[in-house]
Structure formats: structure tokens, C-alpha cells
Amino acid sequence: MDFDARKRLIFFKASANNQRRTYEALLDSLESPLSEALRFARCIYTPESHDIITTFLPAIATGIGAQNNIQPPGYHYTEVAWPSEALALVQQIQGIDPATSCYLLLTLPNVIRQGEVGYWVSNYPLFVVDFAFAKQAIPQLWSVAEDFLAIVGCQLEFGLIIDHYSGYLEHDPNPSEIVYQVARWPADAV
């Protein structure tokens, strides 16, 4: 094993161990039954989570994904000034079987470079839960999500990604100077 491969392996192991520690702290901070549901959810750690995250991040006006930037059917992108407006947009996602598996990503992952390659690394593991749980848990999870939340079908058949940037919308300025970017599909949106 060459030096770069060894360094990358150590980075992956350290990242996954950090995700395990923050996962335990997250569970301790949440109330039951939410903490119990996440305790039994499947968790995907770095580096495996990177391959999944690149399929839907970044989410921008033209689509999703780091490599192909696809626009799923029924894709809508909106910028709003208030978190309550962003969270309410989940109601536009219609026709999804509540038992459908999805990825749940809390907090915006960082892109960490290893040589010429960048990896998406989140504070928490990528959770696999059903859509009904994810949709119901949004209000409680938002408090730990640091203005970022992604709920994406495992086959990319649906999604809600809320991100943010510093700024304001002229028509609805938020004194906190945060603009929420919301990508969702399929959506009944105007």
C-alpha cells in the first residue's frame, strides 16, 4: 500500500469513527421514540456514504448531483426567507408510499480533499429510514440539522433537500440574513 492509499484509509476510518461518536451523542440528545427509531435505522458511514451523497448533492436550480447534475421528473427549486416556509414545502411531495426507503442526511456535509479527489463527509452517518418516519420527524430533526436537511428516495424517485446561504430576498427580507434553498421532487408546485 502506497503512502497516499494509506493516508486515505486512515482518513476514512477516522471519519467513520467520528460519525459513530456524533451518532451516539445525537441519539442521547433526542427524545424517544425518535431516538429509538434512529437507533434501529441502518447507518451508512464514510466512505460508502460519499458515493450516495454525490448522487443528490449539490442541489441547485438546474438539478441534483455532483457528477451528472440530473433534473428528476417533477423537480422544483425555490428560495425562501424563513425555515417554516422551507419545511412546509415537504407537503408538496405527493404520491409516495409511506413505507418507501429513503436516505436521511442531517447537516450539510463538508467536501474534504484527499489529493485530487474530494469526498463528501457528514457529521452524522447517512440514515436509511422510511418516508413516513422522515416526513413526521422533520420538525424534531430540524433543531439539530443546522439549516440543512435531505430526505431522498434510495432510487432518487423523490426528494426534499433544504440548504441555505447568507443573504436576503428583496421581497421578503429575513433579519437573520439567511436564504433557504429548497429542492424537491416530484412536487405539486406553483
Q: For residues 96-114, give the mean pLDDT.
A: 94
- CA gap 38, 26 in Å, rounded: 9
Average pLDDT for the chain: 93
Beta strand residue intervals within 36-177, DSSP E: 42-44, 59-60, 63-64, 76-80, 101-106, 110-114, 117-121, 126-130, 149-153, 159-166
Per-residue pLDDT tens digits for 166-185: 999 999 988 999 999 999 99
Q: Please report which confidence band the pLDDT of residue 189 belongs to, taking 50, 70 and 90 as the band edges.
A: low
Domain ranges of the chain: 3-185
Looking up cell 426567507, which residue turns up?
81
Cα 189 to Cα 62, 135, 163, distances in angstroms: 16, 18, 18
Q: What percent of the chain has pLDDT over 90?
A: 83
Looking up cell 448531483, which residue turns up?
65
Q: Which residue has the higher pLDDT, 179 or 116?
A: 179
Per-residue pLDDT tens digits for 19-66: 999 999 999 999 999 999 999 999 999 999 999 999 999 999 999 998
pLDDT score recorded for residue 4? 84
Q: For residues 9-22, give the mean pLDDT.
A: 95
Q: Which of 52, 74, 83, 66 lies closest to 182 in space, CA to CA?
A: 83
Looking at the chain, the number of H-run helices and the number of E-run strands are 5, 11
Question: Which three cell numbers, joined as nine digits, stand for 30?
Answer: 433526542
Q: Please report which confidence band the pLDDT of residue 68 belongs to, taking 50, 70 and 90 as the band edges.
A: confident
Per-residue pLDDT tens digits for 131-153: 999 999 999 999 999 999 999 99
Q: What percent of the chain has pLDDT over 70?
A: 98
- pLDDT beyond 70 at 7: yes
pLDDT score recorded for residue 115? 78
For the entire predicted model, the pTM comes to 0.94
- CA gap 56, 54 in Å, rounded: 5
Question: Which three cell numbers, joined as nine digits, stand for 14?
Answer: 477516522
Q: Please report which confidence band the pLDDT of residue 107 belongs to, taking 50, 70 and 90 as the band edges.
A: very high
- 82, 180 contact by CB (below 8 A): yes
Using the Cα atoms of residue 38, residue 106, residue 141 and residue 60 in order, give the sign of their dihedral.
negative
- pLDDT beyond 80 at 190: no
Q: For residues 62-91, give the mean pLDDT.
A: 93
